[in-house]
């Protein structure tokens, strides 16, 4: 059985035991269930699992929070944070909006209205403001699938239009994507707000769908919450349909009603009119009534103010006052000096016509009123001050005795009942008053004086001050004081001079300013000043000018009766000018002069060096023709003239200066003894009667001066010498020092001394030798070094040294060497013009040869047969000379020069001359002359033997000549 | 019923001109350059239903890296556009499709070889097209100029996405 059981179900049993074991062992069971749990959970229908798990999960979460809230906070943090942030942001926006709107409306008419509304409804003012200022309308609502951007539902408000909503919704989500991608925004919330002018797009993003509201106007921030609520509700109701949305919106038909609630949202401005008519009617009734009450109350107030004002007035006693039927009644007493009640009414705005007053006069013994009465009756002088001191009336100051007497009487009267009147402090000022009186008399006396104008005068502290204008010619105010009893010591006057135009003063002034000549008389005739008599025109001109000046306001000055006596007067005057001019001239003594019958006579003495009296006439306007003068010459001993004469006779050197010092003639400076001697002689001559001539200050400079002069002559002589360069020279202590350069070939400076008058013993010279490059010295040196033979002449031609003449070849070689050396120094020695000295034994033969000419026929380059003997002879002579020359150590050379006559062209002449020379050379060579010694040239017609006058040609010129040179 | 369709293709393959004559549009073409996408609508009517194809015309870029793949989210189908005169644009279109599908899974598409009017410059061989057709792809040779096959392609895609 057991075996059978083993056979039948043995395998199942072991399997069962394994499963049982598995179930019993919690760890193994957990492992087994764990391996299938995920797939099992996946297969369970969603709802069931959710329901089953919900309580457990809730408890688990609760437990987790109890244990450590932080864990869950950390988990949820990424989810909450954006939501919280967004919520706070909206709240802040809301606050700002509220604040903005509140501020905007706080002081406006709307503001008042809304304040009333807030007070009535119990809402806050800002709430009311927002309610009224945020006018908006939700025009469209789009519900858009979040995944595909496809439109799920779209609701439009009445009258709102838009383009294809399907395209709009896609584009909106495209733009959301665009913004998100473009700015790398990770936020899941998407685009919140798009604003375009009046239009706003607000979007709320849900898990599956986005709700976009298109709002026109100014929506309140709370609208976000409303829209969000709608979206949440839609998600609640149709979350599955939303999740599975694939473009077919038929499943979501109910959504539109939800959206409709959004579209209905709006806040529009109230158009209700203000009840203007009612307000106006009420105002019409209220204003007159209020006005009447106010006015009657106001007039009562004003009357009371007036009455109390009267009550406070001194000298007014209000006995009775009442108001009845709008009329005012008042009665009482008043002092005549008190304020007039009637005049007090003015300014109170109480209607005087409604005031009925009854006043009785009385004399107040109030000190104030007593004071007023005293002031009126006593008329105190300005120097007295009345005042009230502790209910007493006190007079202070200064007054004359008469016033004091009257005041005393008044005081006695008052003593019966009235306030005390104290006059003890008034000083009696009668003496001063009397002095002032006298002063016034003096002042009025001054005022009556002609030429005195009193401008100001006053008396202060017993001193008198007066100021004004006075004519210098008027009476002296000070003098007028005498006899007035005014103490002059107390008078302080300040007078300014002015010119009185009173005729008397004007006459005085004219007399003073014009100085009329004796022949003119000035007088006053009927307030005019009249001048009579004779006067020169210059005076008349001045008088006329004065008359013109006076014409402006002053008295008339009549000069019509003054006769012009100028012509004679002028002539006389010119003469006098001339005479006084003459008299002022040194060296002229006027002995006598008269004017008679229009002629002038003068006589006197004159020095020949003095100015010419005749010449002085010019410019004086005296007619020379009418002058008869008689002058005798004399020598003036006036120092000036003596000086002039000395200058002429002594001719002082430049180093001497003559001058006049205190009538003495003084000579100063340096002069040679010779001049001093002459001056001394002149001084001796002058000593008899003339001014002193002092020559003591002239220093005798003869010896040194002469030596220095000689030295300078010597130095300049040296400087003029070629080959001598003076570097430095001085004269010191009678000795002469000189230094410089000299060429050995130059003149000897020492030798040059002779004949200069310089003492050689006093000359200290220091010369250094140098080679002068002056051609002259070079020449000298050459002469010294080369020792040229007598036949050579060295000359200087334009800084070049040219050697001319004859010399032996050996010397010429030395000269050539010297020329090369010199050229290194930039100098040139021309030796090209040197001829070699022909040895005497060759001279004869050379001259013979040079006398020979070979002649040609016209136009021929070959000599005729008659010339052959000449050629033969010439050849022999040449050969002989060449041989002799060689013997003498020189080389002879023969120049064959061809010539032509004047026939034929110029080029032809030259070529034929050359051709002739060549031919002769060839013929001579043929006759055994060494061709090396034969030189050829053509001279054309330039070196004719005979000058040709005709063009026919000259046979003498058709030739070849020979010259001999030795080298 | 509406479906989101994305038009993908390389630069200047003629996507925009292809649809211009056949679609309803309220947005100007400047959207393409500003936002990078332009939305058009093509309604295709079938006997039993009307399918509104919401066409997202994405700005064509040869630089595939700058392709905003996020615009393809939620799309039901693709219109791949190739310029028949530029062989390289085929590769671009296919790459764009690969990227879209890698991100959002496989979806129906039609492949349009555009500019069929430019026969002389045609650069795609028939054998190549046949080979693609054998993969079961819906391929149309279209011309934005003549409008040839454009409607057919949209109708085909509409029927594919609305099944």
Rounded mean pLDDT, A548-571: 78
Computed on alpha carbons and rounded to an integer, the radius of gyration of chain B in Å comes to 15
Closest residue, chain A, to B49 (C-alpha)? A248
A378, containing H or E segment: helix A367-378
pLDDT at A188 (0 to 100): 56
Asked if A247 and B76 come within 8 Å (Cβ–Cβ), the reply is: yes
Give the residue carrying structure tokens 């009258």.
A159
Residues 34-93 of B with CB under 8 A from A: 35-37, 39-41, 52, 54, 56, 68, 70-71, 73-76
Q: Check residues A383 and B29 and name the one with the higher pLDDT.
A: A383
Helices A840-850 and A868-888, packing angle to 10 deg: 160
User: What's the gap in Å between the CA of B75 and the closest CA on chain A?
Assistant: 6
Q: For an interface test with B, which of A150, A190, A209, A210 has the most B Cβ atoms less than 10 Å from its Cβ? A: A150
Contact (CB, 8 A) for A738 and A726: yes
Confidence of residue A654 (pLDDT cuts 50, 70, 90): confident
My answer on whether A261 and A324 are in the same domain is no
**How far from each other are the two terminal CA atoms of chain A, in whole angstroms?**
179
Q: For an interface test with B, which of A172, A174, A245 has the most B Cβ atoms less than 10 Å from its Cβ? A: A174
Asked if B27 and A167 come within 8 Å (Cβ–Cβ), the reply is: yes
pLDDT (tens digit per residue) in A483-495: 777 888 888 888 8
Residues 219-258 of A with CB under 8 A from B: 246-249
Confidence of residue A272 (pLDDT cuts 50, 70, 90): very low
Highest mean pLDDT among A28-42, A330-344, A730-744: A730-744
Confidence of residue B156 (pLDDT cuts 50, 70, 90): very high
CA–CA separation, A211 and A230 (whole Å):
9
Out of A145, A174, A246, closest to residue B56 by CB: A174
Confidence of residue A30 (pLDDT cuts 50, 70, 90): confident
Least confident of A180-194, A300-314, A506-520, A604-618: A180-194
pLDDT at A191 (0 to 100): 63
Rounded mean pLDDT, A181-200: 71
My answer on whether A451 and A515 are in the same domain is no
Q: What share of chain B is helix, strand, coil (3-state, %, to 5)?
A: 35, 30, 35
- Domains detected in chain B: 2-161 (3.40.50.300)
My answer on whether A937 and A959 are in the same domain is yes
Instruction: Check whether A388 has a pLDDT greater than 60.
Output: yes
pLDDT (tens digit per residue) in B130-142: 998 998 899 999 8
Asked if A180 and B70 come within 8 Å (Cβ–Cβ), the reply is: yes
Asked if B68 and A174 come within 8 Å (Cβ–Cβ), the reply is: no
Out of B56, B68, B70, closest to residue A170 by CB: B56
Domain of A189: which CATH number?
A: 3.30.450.70
Determine, yes or no, domain membership for A129. no
CA–CA separation, A319 and A317 (whole Å):
6
A513, containing H or E segment: helix A503-514
Confidence of residue A952 (pLDDT cuts 50, 70, 90): low
Contact (CB, 8 A) for A786 and A811: yes
Highest mean pLDDT among A41-55, A196-210, A846-860: A846-860
Contacts of B52 in chain A (CB under 8 A): 166, 247
Report how many domains make up chain A: 7
pLDDT (tens digit per residue) in A40-88: 777 776 667 777 788 888 888 888 878 777 777 777 777 777 777 777 7
pLDDT (tens digit per residue) in A105-137: 666 776 777 778 878 877 777 777 766 666 788
Domain of A447: which CATH number?
A: 3.30.300
CA–CA separation, B22 and A164 (whole Å):
16
Domain of A551: which CATH number?
A: 3.30.70
Cβ–Cβ contact A708 with B under 8 A: no
My answer on whether A424 and A451 are in the same domain is no
The share of chain A scoring above pLDDT 70, in percent, equals 94
Helices (H) and strands (E) in chain B, counts: 5, 7
pLDDT at A62 (0 to 100): 83
Token digits for A732?
Answer: 């010191």
Determine, yes or no, domain membership for A760. no
Asked if B25 and A149 come within 8 Å (Cβ–Cβ), the reply is: no
My answer on whether A221 and A198 are in the same domain is yes
Out of B26, B36, B71, closest to residue A167 by CB: B26
The share of chain A scoring above pLDDT 90, in percent, equals 3
My answer on whether A853 and A930 are in the same domain is yes
Cβ–Cβ contact A583 with B under 8 A: no
User: What's the gap in Å between the CA of B68 and the closest CA on chain A?
Assistant: 8
Contact (CB, 8 A) for A364 and A418: no
User: What's the gap in Å between the CA of B53 and the closest CA on chain A?
Assistant: 10
Task: Return the HEC string of A584-644.
Answer: HCCCEEEEEEEEECCEEEEEEEECCCCCCHHHHHCCCCCCHHHEEEEEEECCCCCHHHHHH
My answer on whether A883 and A952 are in the same domain is yes
Contact (CB, 8 A) for A823 and A953: no
Instruction: Check whether A223 has a pLDDT greater than 50.
Output: yes
User: What's the gap in Å between the CA of B91 and the closest CA on chain A?
Assistant: 26
Out of A178, A247, A248, closest to residue B36 by CB: A178
Q: Check residues A838 and A320 and name the one with the higher pLDDT.
A: A320
My answer on whether A225 and A304 are in the same domain is no
Asked if A148 and B76 come within 8 Å (Cβ–Cβ), the reply is: yes
Cβ–Cβ contact A177 with B under 8 A: yes
Q: What is the largest CA-CA distance in chain B?
A: 42
Closest residue, chain A, to B40 (C-alpha)? A167
Mean pLDDT of chain A, nearest integer: 81
Contact (CB, 8 A) for A459 and A436: yes
Contacts 24+ apart (CB under 8 A), B43-48: B44/B154, B44/B155, B44/B158, B44/B159, B46/B158, B46/B159, B46/B162
Confidence of residue A920 (pLDDT cuts 50, 70, 90): very high
CA–CA separation, B66 and B96 (whole Å):
11
pLDDT at A875 (0 to 100): 93
CA–CA separation, B77 and B3 (whole Å):
8
Rounded mean pLDDT, A265-291: 67
My answer on whether A157 and A205 are in the same domain is yes
Contact (CB, 8 A) for A298 and A275: no
My answer on whether A196 and A315 are in the same domain is no
Asked if B2 and A247 come within 8 Å (Cβ–Cβ), the reply is: yes
Out of A164, A180, A248, closest to residue B24 by CB: A164
Token digits for B14?
Answer: 């003629």
Rounded mean pLDDT, A779-800: 80
Computed on alpha carbons and rounded to an integer, the radius of gyration of chain A in Å comes to 79
pLDDT (tens digit per residue) in B73-96: 889 999 999 988 988 888 888 888
Contacts of A180 in chain B (CB under 8 A): 70
Rounded mean pLDDT, B151-163: 89
pLDDT at A838 (0 to 100): 66
Instruction: Check whether A960 has a pLDDT greater than 90.
Output: yes
CA–CA separation, A495 and A474 (whole Å):
12
Token digits for A829?
Answer: 């020695």
pLDDT at B5 (0 to 100): 92
If you ran DSSP here, which 8-state letter would residue A189 be given? S
Asked if A174 and B39 come within 8 Å (Cβ–Cβ), the reply is: yes
Which residues lie closer than 8 Å to A68 by C-beta, 6 or more apart?
none
Contacts of B1 in chain A (CB under 8 A): 247-248
**Containing domain of residue A331, as a range?**
294-352
Question: What Cα–Cα distance (Å) separates residue A676 from each residue in A107, A654, A687, A689?
Answer: 125, 14, 16, 22
pLDDT at A876 (0 to 100): 92
Domain of A905: which CATH number?
A: 3.30.1330.60
CA–CA separation, A825 and A817 (whole Å):
13
User: What's the gap in Å between the CA of A152 and the closest CA on chain B?
Assistant: 9
Cβ–Cβ contact A181 with B under 8 A: yes
Determine, yes or no, domain membership for A878. yes
pLDDT at B147 (0 to 100): 80
Rounded mean pLDDT, A171-198: 73
List A464's β-bridge partners, or say none: A459, A491
Total count of residues recorded for chain B: 163
Determine, yes or no, domain membership for A48. yes
Question: What Cα–Cα distance (Å) separates residue A189 from each residue in A79, A150, A207?
Answer: 11, 18, 10
Instruction: Check whether A273 has a pLDDT greater than 50.
Output: no
pLDDT at A425 (0 to 100): 83
Cβ–Cβ contact B113 with A under 8 A: no
Out of A148, A168, A175, closest to residue B74 by CB: A148
Contact (CB, 8 A) for A668 and A659: yes
Task: Choose the final residue of a domain: A442, A473, A498.
Answer: A498
User: What's the gap in Å between the CA of B124 and the closest CA on chain A?
Assistant: 34
Least confident of A87-91, A206-210, A935-939, B113-117: A87-91
Q: Check residues A82 and A406 and name the one with the higher pLDDT.
A: A406
Q: For an interface test with A, which of B49, B74, B77, B104 has the most A Cβ atoms less than 10 Å from its Cβ? A: B74
Which residues lie closer than 8 Å to A244 by C-beta, 6 or more apart?
A251
Determine, yes or no, domain membership for A472. yes
Determine, yes or no, domain membership for A72. no
Determine, yes or no, domain membership for A459. yes
Confidence of residue A869 (pLDDT cuts 50, 70, 90): very high
Closest residue, chain B, to A246 (C-alpha)? B3
Nearest to A556 by CA among A507, A515, A519: A507
Contact (CB, 8 A) for B1 and B52: yes
Contacts 24+ apart (CB under 8 A), A638-645: A638/A586, A638/A587, A638/A607, A639/A663, A639/A664, A639/A665, A639/A691, A640/A586, A640/A587, A641/A586, A641/A587, A641/A607, A641/A609, A641/A610, A642/A686, A642/A690, A642/A691, A642/A693, A644/A609, A645/A609
Highest mean pLDDT among A114-118, A127-131, A559-563, A867-871: A867-871
Q: For an interface test with A, which of B1, B3, B4 has the most A Cβ atoms less than 10 Å from its Cβ? A: B4
My answer on whether A378 and A489 are in the same domain is no
My answer on whether A489 and A532 are in the same domain is no
Task: Return the HEC string of A266-307.
Answer: EECCCCCCCCHHHHHHHHHHHHHHHHHHHHHHHHHHHHHHHH
Out of A148, A163, A246, closest to residue B26 by CB: A163
Instruction: Check whether A756 has a pLDDT greater than 70.
Output: yes
pLDDT (tens digit per residue) in A417-457: 778 888 888 877 777 777 877 888 888 888 888 888 888 88
Q: What is the ipTM of this complex?
A: 0.83
Contacts of B4 in chain A (CB under 8 A): 148-150, 170, 247
Between chain A and chain B, the number of residue pairs with CB atoms below 8 A apart is 69
Task: Choose the final residue of a domain: A529, A549, A564.
Answer: A564
Determine, yes or no, domain membership for A887. yes
């Amino acid at each position: 059985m057991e075996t059978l059981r083993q056979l039948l179900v043995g395998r199942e049993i072991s399997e069962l035991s394994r499963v049982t074991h598995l179930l019993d062992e919690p760890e193994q069971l957990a492992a087994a269930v764990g391996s299938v749990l995920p797939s099992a959970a996946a297969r369970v229908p969603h709802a069931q699992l959710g329901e089953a798990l919900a309580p457990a999960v809730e408890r688990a979460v609760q437990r987790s929070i109890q244990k450590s809230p932080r864990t869950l906070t950390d988990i949820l943090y990424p989810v909450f944070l954006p939501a919280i942030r967004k919520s706070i942001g909206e709240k802040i926006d809301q606050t700002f909006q509220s604040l903005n709107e509140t501020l905007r409306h706080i002081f406006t008419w709307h503001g008042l209205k809304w304040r009333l509304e807030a007070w009535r409804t119990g809402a806050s003012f800002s709430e009311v403001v927002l309610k009224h200022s945020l006018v908006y309308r939700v025009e469209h609502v789009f519900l858009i699938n979040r995944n595909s951007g496809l439109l799920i539902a779209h609701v439009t408000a009445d009258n709102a239009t838009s383009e294809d909503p399907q395209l709009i919704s896609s584009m909106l989500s495209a733009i959301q994507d665009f913004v998100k991608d473009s700015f790398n925004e990770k936020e899941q919330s998407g685009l919140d707000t798009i604003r375009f002018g009046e239009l706003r797009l607000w979007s709320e993003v849900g898990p599956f769908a986005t709700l976009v509201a298109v709002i026109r106007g100014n929506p309140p921030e709370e609208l976000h919450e409303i829209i969000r609520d709608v979206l949440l509700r839609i998600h609640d109701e149709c979350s599955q349909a939303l999740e599975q949305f694939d473009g077919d919106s038929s499943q979501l038909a109910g959504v539109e009603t939800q959206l409709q609630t959004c579209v209905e949202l709006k806040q529009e401005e109230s158009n209700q009119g203000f009840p203007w008519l009612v307000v106006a009617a009420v105002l019409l009734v209220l204003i007159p009534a209020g006005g009447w009450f106010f006015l009657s109350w106001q007039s009562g107030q004003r009357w009371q103010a007036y009455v109390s004002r009267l009550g406070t007035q001194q000298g007014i006693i209000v006995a009775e006052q009442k108001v009845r039927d709008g009329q005012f009644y008042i009665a009482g007493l008043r002092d005549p000096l008190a304020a007039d009640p009637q005049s007090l009414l003015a300014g109170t705005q109480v209607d005087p016509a409604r005031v009925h007053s009854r006043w009785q006069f009385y004399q107040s013994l109030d000190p104030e009123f007593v004071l007023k009465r005293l002031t009126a009756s006593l008329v105190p002088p300005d120097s007295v001050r009345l005042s009230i001191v502790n209910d007493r009336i006190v007079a202070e100051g200064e007054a004359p005795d008469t016033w004091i007497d009257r005041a005393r009487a008044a005081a006695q009267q008052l003593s019966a009942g009235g306030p005390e009147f104290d006059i003890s402090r008034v000083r009696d000022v009668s003496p001063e008053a009397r002095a002032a009186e006298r002063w016034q008399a003096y002042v009025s006396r001054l005022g009556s004086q002609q030429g005195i104008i009193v401008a100001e005068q006053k008396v202060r502290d017993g001193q008198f001050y007066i100021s004004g204008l006075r004519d210098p010619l008027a009476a002296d105010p000070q003098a007028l004081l005498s006899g007035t009893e005014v103490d002059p010591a107390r008078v302080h006057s300040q007078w300014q001079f002015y010119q009185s135009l009173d005729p008397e003063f004007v006459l005085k002034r004219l007399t003073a300013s014009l100085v009329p000549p004796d022949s003119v008389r000035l007088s006053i005739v009927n307030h005019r000043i009249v001048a009579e008599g004779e006067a020169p025109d210059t005076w008349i001109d001045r008088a006329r000018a004065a008359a013109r000046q006076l014409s402006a306001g002053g008295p008339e000055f009549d000069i019509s009766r003054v006769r012009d006596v100028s012509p004679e007067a002028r002539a006389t005057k010119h003469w006098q000018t001339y005479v006084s001019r003459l008299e002022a001239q040194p060296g002229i003594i006027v002995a006598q002069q008269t004017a008679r019958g229009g002629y002038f006579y003068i006589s006197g003495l004159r020095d020949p060096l003095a100015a010419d009296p005749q010449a002085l006439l010019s410019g004086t306007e005296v007619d020379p023709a009418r002058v008869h003068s008689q002058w005798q010459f004399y020598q003036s001993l006036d120092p000036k003239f003596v000086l002039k004469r000395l200058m002429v006779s002594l001719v002082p050197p430049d180093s001497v200066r003559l001058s006049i010092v205190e009538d003495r003639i003084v000579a100063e400076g340096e002069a040679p003894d010779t001049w001093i001697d002459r001056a001394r002689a002149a001084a001796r001559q002058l000593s008899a009667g003339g001014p002193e001539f002092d020559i003591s200050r002239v220093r005798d400079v003869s010896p040194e001066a002469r030596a220095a002069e000689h030295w300078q002559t010597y130095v300049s002589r040296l400087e003029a010498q070629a080959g001598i360069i003076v570097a430095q020279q001085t004269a010191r202590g009678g000795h002469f020092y000189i230094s410089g350069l000299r060429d050995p070939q130059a003149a000897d400076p020492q030798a040059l001394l002779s004949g200069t008058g310089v003492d050689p013993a006093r000359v200290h010279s220091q010369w250094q030798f140098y080679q002068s490059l002056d051609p002259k010295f070079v020449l000298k040196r050459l002469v010294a070094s080369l020792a040229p033979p007598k036949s050579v002449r060295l000359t200087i031609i334009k800084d070049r040294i040219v050697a001319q003449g004859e010399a032996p070849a050996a010397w010429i070689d030395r000269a050539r060497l010297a020329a090369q050396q010199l050229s290194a120094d930039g100098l040139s020695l021309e030796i090209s013009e040197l001829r070699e000295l022909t040895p005497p034994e060759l001279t004869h033969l050379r001259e013979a040869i040079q006398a020979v000419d070979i002649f040609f026929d016209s136009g021929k380059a070959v000599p005729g047969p008659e010339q052959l003997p000449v050629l033969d002879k010439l050849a022999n002579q040449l050969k002989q000379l060449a041989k002799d020359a060689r013997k003498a150590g020189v080389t002879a050379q023969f120049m064959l020069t061809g010539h032509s006559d004047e026939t034929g062209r110029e080029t032809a002449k030259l070529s034929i001359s050359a051709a002739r020379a060549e031919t002769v050379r060839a013929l001579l060579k043929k006759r055994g002359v060494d061709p090396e010694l034969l030189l050829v040239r053509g001279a054309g017609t330039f070196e004719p033997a005979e000058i040709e006058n005709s063009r026919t040609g000259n046979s003498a010129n058709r030739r070849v000549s020979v010259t001999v040179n030795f080298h | 019923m509406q479906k989101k369709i994305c038009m993908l293709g390389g630069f200047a393959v003629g996507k925009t001109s292809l649809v211009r004559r056949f679609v309803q549009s309220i947005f100007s073409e400047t959207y393409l350059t500003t936002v990078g996408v332009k939305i058009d609508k093509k309604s295709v009517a079938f006997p039993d239903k009307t399918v509104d194809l919401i066409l997202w015309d994405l700005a064509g870029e040869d630089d595939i890296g700058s392709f905003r793949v996020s615009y393809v989210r939620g799309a039901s189908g693709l219109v791949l556009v190739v310029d028949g005169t530029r062989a390289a644009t085929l590769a671009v279109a296919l790459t764009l499709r690969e990227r879209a599908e890698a991100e959002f899974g496989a979806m129906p598409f039609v492949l349009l070889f555009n500019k069929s009017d430019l026969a002389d410059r045609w650069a795609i061989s028939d054998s190549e097209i046949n080979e693609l057709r054998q993969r079961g792809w819906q391929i149309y040779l279209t011309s934005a100029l003549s409008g040839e096959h454009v409607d057919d392609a949209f109708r085909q895609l509409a029927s594919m996405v609305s099944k």
